[in-house]
Amino acid sequence: MDEIRYTVTGMSCGHCVASITEEVTQVAGVSDVSVDLRRNEVTVRGNTVDDERVRAAITEAGYAVAGLATP
């Protein structure tokens, strides 16, 4: 199972969490999405997760991917 963590800007509330979760969950191969507002991170887990599609889903939700989060 893949796990990718993204640093995302513009998140500030529960609505942000719901919007990102809804969009990213629709990406093929994604089985779990968790959003950490405090750290500005979105963690995506799944099988054969397409990085480009996840980034596009986050953008579609109205937020910007600043890059991959550092461990």
pLDDT in tens, 17-41: 999 999 999 999 999 999 999 999 9
Q: Tell me the pTM.
A: 0.93
pLDDT tens-digit map of 45-64: 999 999 999 999 999 999 99
d(CA 8, CA 60): 13
- DSSP assignment of 3-44, as one string? EEEEEEES--SHHHHHHHHHHHHTSTTEEEEEEETTTTEEEE
User: What is the side-by-side order of every strand in the sheet holding 64-68?
Assistant: 30-36, 41-46, 2-9, 64-68
When the candidates are 3.30.429.10, 1.10.3720.10, 3.40.50.300, 3.30.70.100, the CATH number that belongs to 9-62 is: 3.30.70.100
